Structure 1
């Protein structure tokens, strides 16, 4: 019997930009290693339009097809929580493991700023997948 993939929640306050990018890249780059979810404590009406445009441009991922802003209560129980770097009181979700990626919010900034954050998220997703694969993170 194979064990289930761990569930990872990428969280920040609004769930409209960094956490959405992380959910999309988690599915795209590490879907074979873990399940990706994103959520926040407050909800924006839509995913950040610059994030949508750049994710389509860089990875050909249309985040609107499979994602929308969600509250923490709308996602399943997770094994791993990744905080994006809220610089305020970050949301709390119970989990077996937690990391804070400390990423600046690129909302309202230039495409270059967005690209830097997207690249950091990509690198962090790959590192996280490696940690899970190598079992350096204790998640069921």
Structure 2
């Protein structure tokens, strides 16, 4: 099976999409390549997200990732928007879905952990749906 390319996108590419890229690389690299991007850059990834991902999974996103624009990533098969509310970025793809996740920025560690756990579950589900052919590419 051809390894698919999945882009996790939101406007700023600094929190949820970065967490999804890291978790995709951790949990689903055998099925798809994970990328994250946005329409605007931030000088750094959200440091609360970095800390929580390091605590939960031992992933240092400051070392493994950086904020990227949509134009910085390769052509993808699947686009997952994080839940941008009004203006989710557009990226051409074969399959698109929105995960409707609230941005935990500025909130408690519990909110970041809850978001990370939801992303974990959604990554595992996406991997399963790809393997079972539910997402036809």
TM-score, normalising length: structure 2: 0.98
Gaps of 5+ in 2: none
Is residue 15 of structure 2 the alignment partner of residue 21 of structure 1?
no
Partners of 2:85 and 2:105 lie apart in 1 by 14
What residue number does 1:110 align with?
108
1:26-58 deviation digits (Å, cap 9, x = unpaired): 000001110000000011010000000010000
What residue number does 1:40 align with?
38
Partners of 1:117 and 1:24 lie apart in 2 by 13
What residue number does 1:6 align with?
4
Deviation at 1:4, TM superposition (A): 2.5
Partners of 2:63 and 2:111 lie apart in 1 by 24
What residue number does 2:75 align with?
77
Gaps of 5+ in 1: none
Partners of 2:5 and 2:136 lie apart in 1 by 12
What residue number does 2:95 align with?
97
CA RMSD in angstroms, aligned pairs only = 0.7
Give runs of ≥4 in structure 1 deviating > 4 Å: none
Picking from 36, 52, 55, the partner of 1:54 is: 52
How many pairs were matched up? 137
What residue number does 2:133 align with?
135
